[in-house]
Structure 1
Amino acid sequence: MKFRIALLLSAWTLAFLPAVSQAEVAQEFMLKNGMKIIVKEDHRAPTVAHMVWYKAGSMDEHNGATGVAHALEHMMFKGTKMLKPGEFSQRVAALGGRENAFTSKDYTGYFQQIEKSKLEKVMALEADRMANLVFDKDEFSREIRVVMEERRWRTEDQPIPLLYEALNATAFTAHPYHHPIAGWMSDLLSMTVQDAKAWYDRWYAPNNAVMVVTGDVDAKQVLALAEKHFGKIPRKAVPVTKPQDEPPQRGIRRVTVKAPAENPYVVLAFKVPALRDVEKDNESHALDVLAAILDGYDNARLNAKLVRTDRVANSAGAGYSNIGRGPVLFLLDGTPAVGTTTEQLEKMLRAEVERIANEGISEQELKRVKTQLIAGQIYKRDSIFGQAMEIGTMEMSGISHTKIDRIIDKLKEVTAEQVQAVAKKYFGDDELTVATLVPLPITEKKAPAPPKGLRH
């Protein structure tokens, strides 16, 4: 289910939800120009993850310009006043590092993984493109074609991503999560280099950015380097984002997608609360546990009942990603087995949640599931890169990175009664959008190659 959740909530981004190591506490600083610096020391290996996150993603776009956040991400590698197109990546590679970028609904991020003595050099490169990006019309013309081909390859030629794109567009009517991160093709076709530059000028400012550095570093030395390279970049008047609340849903919404595929597939998306306040949002923590009960380990309820015992599904899953700037969804999904229709599987998936709503869960099952869920969170902390990813994701969603460990504490406190209560409250018809994939015959042709220049 994790792969499919990523398609819905973080498509076109690196889909990680790692966590921060307990060994050291992250330290936070603020430059005079408003740029936040977060440093998490981890001295297990002489490596560093360096990231710069901008609080600007596809949810900040408007009709007619969808996909511009992702297009600009590509342009960030196409040269500055000091660097030629492609030279940024060449220099990082020459230093023995690796680099990439990612765009999501909520943010855009850029990173380098490097040996610790090379940190200042990649930091200087990142600061250069924050302030001195060059917008060449011919370079943009070439790169937007790569972006369009990437959309074809990752979405239009892939049945499951295509279905999730339709699901988002159906579930959200007012909120900009309605739009795909890749952008609608018609908007990409009409996009200009001036559109990309306007996005850069509007959002790419130190006071709209967070730097996260994790690894074998000294926090005060990182701060000194940040002041040296980023501190001189002037702050900008960043636009204030207006609320675009999703109106109440008043009945089941349905969307069907016909596409070449091997099997039918159905996904049910329920509107549920996001995590906004770690201390107060106990329903969100309970939904996290509910997702784990349904699909948090090999013998979780959906797989055990629908796949292994009843054999009515080839796969069945659940997922809930509660961190984001906008509204969130709780997903149930599955591929029906031969002899089962998507309509029947839809009812069976809902029946498993209804069973929890009516019968509750035992303390033994709750304990087992919470152990699995919390262990999974802790195991994610083994990666320096993963630590930086979670810190940045939390900060971009409006939740302080200092609350990361507190989330685990709150998961430990979830009761069986709280899980049963959210199962009763949030899985009715008025919260539900159903997307169904109807498979068409697959033509015998070679799978398309990734577009040249694909970054992530």
Structure 2
Amino acid sequence: MLGRLGAGLAFALTLTLPAAADEPVTTFTLDNGLNVVVIEDHRAPVVVQMIWYRVGAADEPPGHSGIAHFLEHLMFKGTEKVAPNAFSGIVEAQGGDDNAFTSWDYTAYFQRIAADRLDLVMEMEADRMRNLRLTEEDVATERQVILEERAQRTDSDPSALLMEQMRAAQYMNHPYSIPVIGWRHEMEKLSREDALEYYRRFYAPNNATLVVAGDVDPATVKTLAEKHYGPLEPSDGIVPRVRPQEPPQLAERRLVLEDERVSEPYVFRTYLAPERDPGDQKTAAALTVLAELLGGNGQTSVLARALQFDRKVAVYSSAFYDGTSIDDGTFGIAVVPVQGVSLDAVEAELDRTLDDFLKTGPDPAALERIRTQVRAGEIYARDSVENLANSFGKGLSVGLTVADIEGWDEALSAVTEADVMEAARMVLNRKNAVTGWLTRPAAEGEARQ
């Protein structure tokens, strides 16, 4: 991971590489272990500061699911310098905005603000890295907030419930099975002591990456980082993230979720799929292109043409993959049948289409078009300083290097038909899959749709 070379030096690593749109990227590491990435983009006097903690839902202590996301909420409760719940208001008063998000592998906080306000937001972010203050009332109030969030976003949404159940079935041993929001019965018991123990261990400079992107000078960022983050003490609780791994999957796992609230039944399938690996992104790039070929376009993709236009058994189909994770992720496919076509029938047509693809491969012209579109999409996304900061922060948080992140669009452009087919044959294996049906309960005497 970036910053492990030369630990103990004031600035253990410094290098400059061209970003996708020719923005210089400078990296260095502070004495206390904080990794810093500076991405220059001087087109507008705006800056994005992001702090990425290398801890997420997959790193939670057993029985404490949801603590990573819970702490994300509690981080806005204030310090001795910043009053409770005042953080976002201060940023907004300066003309900026802020937010935070939690995933399985990381938790991130960011502010987007005028470049001349960087000193202020950096001081505030550094302050709450080690100086958070929590009362029992804060914890009780915010615990109710996250329980309500689960009720609204998961418990009241049949699609979210299906995905949650399928993920738990996909990962029998790996903590990726744990929902980021947490299991309700464990969320209800999260305490102030749980939050502070987790915070003190993981929220520390030697477990974080600071990304500053926009109209900034690396020397100035270095000075500000030393001033605000430099004095913070590292944590002695940071150890390599070695997680339980999945045993070989020997058979397809299937489940059916029936819910009266379902308006459109559908088939959803996920396959275990390899992640982007440091120094070796070939397979992940091929899977990214494969997802676009199969289901990236509602008009021209393989699934759309076969299921929606040729056989007219589906009204919607898609495929997706994101390999930016520490351990194996998933490759997913979804199909919504037309009214009157059963889930069993549309799944059979899906399997027929996939079998045909595995035998014949992609149309060469379509492959070239998709490969170009995917790479162009990656490059265009980096036209935003926020997207740039997100790309670097996310990648570095899961163990990729600056060179890996910069080389991703080149890896996509190098994908061949042979690469796509090798990846497809490796991943699209029913023994490696979880297939879920989301449907309404059948009325008495009625066949399941």
SS at match of 2:144: helix
SS at match of 1:190: coil
State the shift of 1:89 in Å: 1.3
Match of 1:170 in 2: 169
Equivalent pair of 2:274/2:327 in contact (CA under 8 Å): no
2:184 is the counterpart of 1:182: no
Equivalent pair of 2:281/2:411 in contact (CA under 8 Å): no
Match of 1:310 in 2: 311
SS at match of 2:258: strand
SS at match of 2:216: coil
Match of 1:13 in 2: none
Q: Please, which runs of 5 or more residues in structure 2 have no aligned partner?
A: 1-17, 443-449
Structure 1 range deviating more: 78-87 or 300-309? 300-309
State the shift of 1:294 in Å: 0.9
Equivalent pair of 2:130/2:200 in contact (CA under 8 Å): no
Sort the Cα spacing of 1:370 and 1:72 in 2 relative to 1 into closer, same or farther, 3 A. same
Equivalent pair of 1:156/1:162 in contact (CA under 8 Å): yes
Taking the aligned partners of 1:256 and 1:38, their CA distance within structure 2 comes to 45
Taking the aligned partners of 2:19 and 2:65, their CA distance within structure 1 comes to 33
| Aligned residue identity for 1:257 | L
Equivalent pair of 1:314/1:336 in contact (CA under 8 Å): yes
Match of 2:196 in 1: 197
Match of 2:439 in 1: 438
Match of 1:364 in 2: 365
SS at match of 1:283: helix
State the shift of 1:114 in Å: 0.1
Match of 2:289 in 1: 289
Taking the aligned partners of 1:159 and 1:378, their CA distance within structure 2 comes to 35
Taking the aligned partners of 2:24 and 2:353, their CA distance within structure 1 comes to 41
Taking the aligned partners of 1:361 and 1:93, their CA distance within structure 2 comes to 50
Match of 2:136 in 1: 137
Taking the aligned partners of 1:258 and 1:288, their CA distance within structure 2 comes to 32
Aligned residue runs from structure 1 range 336-355, under 5 A = 336-355=337-356
Taking the aligned partners of 1:343 and 1:55, their CA distance within structure 2 comes to 42
2:130 is the counterpart of 1:118: no
2:274 is the counterpart of 1:246: no
Taking the aligned partners of 2:352 and 2:383, their CA distance within structure 1 comes to 37
State the shift of 1:82 in Å: 1.8
Sort the Cα spacing of 1:20 and 1:306 in 2 relative to 1 into closer, same or farther, 3 A. farther
Match of 1:95 in 2: 94
Aligned residue runs from structure 1 range 67-106, under 5 A = 67-106=66-105
Match of 1:330 in 2: 331
- Figure out how many residues of one structure are paired with residues of the other and give that number: 422
Match of 1:401 in 2: 402
Taking the aligned partners of 1:20 and 1:134, their CA distance within structure 2 comes to 39
Match of 1:444 in 2: none
State the shift of 1:112 in Å: 0.3
| Aligned residue identity for 2:126 | A
Match of 1:273 in 2: 274
Per-residue CA distance 1:36-89 (angstroms, 9 max, x = gap): 000000011110110001001000013310000000001000111222211111
Match of 1:3 in 2: none
Taking the aligned partners of 2:424 and 2:129, their CA distance within structure 1 comes to 46
Per-residue CA distance 1:236-273 (angstroms, 9 max, x = gap): 11332333111111101012222212111211111121
Taking the aligned partners of 2:351 and 2:43, their CA distance within structure 1 comes to 46
Equivalent pair of 2:313/2:338 in contact (CA under 8 Å): yes
| Aligned residue identity for 2:173 | A
2:34 is the counterpart of 1:38: no
Higher relative contact order (CA 8 A, sep 6+): 1
Equivalent pair of 1:43/1:215 in contact (CA under 8 Å): yes
Equivalent pair of 2:207/2:238 in contact (CA under 8 Å): no
Aligned residue runs from structure 1 range 422-433, under 5 A = 422-433=423-434
State the shift of 1:440 in Å: 5.2
Per-residue CA distance 1:135-181 (angstroms, 9 max, x = gap): 11111101100010001101110111111101111100110011100
| Aligned residue identity for 1:286 | A
Match of 1:387 in 2: 388
Taking the aligned partners of 2:281 and 2:112, their CA distance within structure 1 comes to 35
| Aligned residue identity for 2:150 | R
Taking the aligned partners of 1:277 and 1:283, their CA distance within structure 2 comes to 12
2:258 is the counterpart of 1:255: no
Taking the aligned partners of 2:146 and 2:112, their CA distance within structure 1 comes to 25
Per-residue CA distance 1:9-41 (angstroms, 9 max, x = gap): xxxxxxxxxx96422121101000000000000
CA RMSD after TM alignment: 1.6
Match of 1:454 in 2: none
Structure 1 range deviating more: 333-342 or 182-191? 333-342
Equivalent pair of 1:354/1:423 in contact (CA under 8 Å): no
| Aligned residue identity for 2:254 | R
2:221 is the counterpart of 1:222: yes
Equivalent pair of 1:20/1:390 in contact (CA under 8 Å): no
SS at match of 1:64: coil
Taking the aligned partners of 1:397 and 1:21, their CA distance within structure 2 comes to 20
State the shift of 1:281 in Å: 4.3
Match of 2:53 in 1: 54
Taking the aligned partners of 1:228 and 1:306, their CA distance within structure 2 comes to 59
| Aligned residue identity for 1:431 | N
Taking the aligned partners of 1:93 and 1:413, their CA distance within structure 2 comes to 44
| Aligned residue identity for 1:339 | G
Structure 1 range deviating more: 261-270 or 417-426? 417-426
Sort the Cα spacing of 1:69 and 1:296 in 2 relative to 1 into closer, same or farther, 3 A. same
Q: Please, which runs of 5 or more residues in structure 1 have no aligned partner?
A: 1-18, 442-456
| Aligned residue identity for 1:180 | P
2:17 is the counterpart of 1:26: no
Aligned residue runs from structure 1 range 4-23, under 5 A = 21-23=20-22
Equivalent pair of 1:353/1:423 in contact (CA under 8 Å): no
Match of 1:419 in 2: 420
Identity of paired residues, percent?
Answer: 36
Taking the aligned partners of 2:321 and 2:88, their CA distance within structure 1 comes to 35
| Aligned residue identity for 2:95 | G
SS at match of 1:382: coil
Match of 1:153 in 2: 152
Sort the Cα spacing of 1:281 and 1:391 in 2 relative to 1 into closer, same or farther, 3 A. closer
Taking the aligned partners of 2:233 and 2:420, their CA distance within structure 1 comes to 48
TM-score (norm 2): 0.91
Structure 1 range deviating more: 153-162 or 361-370? 361-370
SS at match of 2:407: helix
State the shift of 1:439 in Å: 2.5
| Aligned residue identity for 2:107 | T
Equivalent pair of 1:76/1:129 in contact (CA under 8 Å): yes
Taking the aligned partners of 1:305 and 1:429, their CA distance within structure 2 comes to 20
Per-residue CA distance 1:108-147 (angstroms, 9 max, x = gap): 0000000000010000000110011001111110110001
TM-score (norm 1): 0.90
